[in-house]
Structure 1
């Protein structure tokens, strides 16, 4: 498939808000948000982050990611990472992840990239591992039902 990335635009928000299919998926992407994701919640995340990026296919928005931490010649942390359900398992996530890693290196001279993933998000964990990310820390969190869940922090050198 032919994918492209570009900076997020205001008209993209409604499309991105439709990607999480349930409260669990939204929690994986944006734990502070309340399901269903609204444009206001998403805009709040965008306002507090850098390089909010959409992934497109045939000019349709099919993915989203940004940096919630960035430092020159240091670490960039990818957040709000999501791909539209119809495009999962087709290389879209890998393309977006590679774009964000390149962006971190070019824009911030990042020496490494980090991404965090909840233990119950198996498909994302496998994607990150296939792309060379290695776990370095496990943090106990509580999910939206107040059950213990593990947040696995992963890192890759650029």
Structure 2
């Protein structure tokens, strides 16, 4: 599968809203959103974030992420990470996270990139360490069905820095 990245456009919003298959997946991607994800909710989030990026396979949008924090020479935090159901398990998430990490290091000269993952998101918990992210903090949150859940914060420090 040939993958490429580009900035999100207004034409992508409806497709992106279809990626979260249920309230649990939407919670992993965008904890403040209400299921089902609406174009207004996603557009508002994009307007408040940085470098919203889609991944394409052929002419199909199959992945999405952005930064909710982007500090020049500091920390960039990746958020809203999601992959279309039909593209899962095919390297799209790895390509997406690596694309965002490179963007943080190249465009923002970031010293580190952070990503957070809920304890029940097994795919994310297995993916991020493979890409060099290591846990550094755990925060208690409440799931949509009012259960206690853990948000695991991970970071990847820029290598080769003086």
Question: What TM-score do the two structures reach when normalised by structure 2?
Answer: 0.96
Q: Which residue of 1 aligns with 2:129?
A: 129
Tell me how far apart the structure 2 counterparts of residues 87 and 61 of structure 1 sit (CA, whole Å).
10
Q: Which residue of 1 aligns with 2:30?
A: 30
Deviations 1:113-138 (A, max 9, x none): 00000000001110101111100000
Q: RMSD of the alignment, in Å?
A: 0.6
SS of aligned partner of 1:37: coil
Does 2:132 align with 1:150? no
Runs of at least 5 residues in structure 1 that lack an aligned partner in the other structure = none
Tell me how far apart the structure 2 counterparts of residues 155 and 72 of structure 1 sit (CA, whole Å).
17
Moved over 4 A (4+): none
Runs of at least 5 residues in structure 2 that lack an aligned partner in the other structure = none
Tell me how far apart the structure 1 counterparts of residues 78 and 23 of structure 2 sit (CA, whole Å).
21
Q: Which residue of 2 aligns with 1:113?
A: 113
Tell me how far apart the structure 2 counterparts of residues 105 and 134 of structure 1 sit (CA, whole Å).
17
Q: 1:53 offset after TM fit, Å?
A: 0.3
Question: What TM-score do the two structures reach when normalised by structure 1?
Answer: 0.99
Tell me how far apart the structure 1 counterparts of residues 118 and 46 of structure 2 sit (CA, whole Å).
21
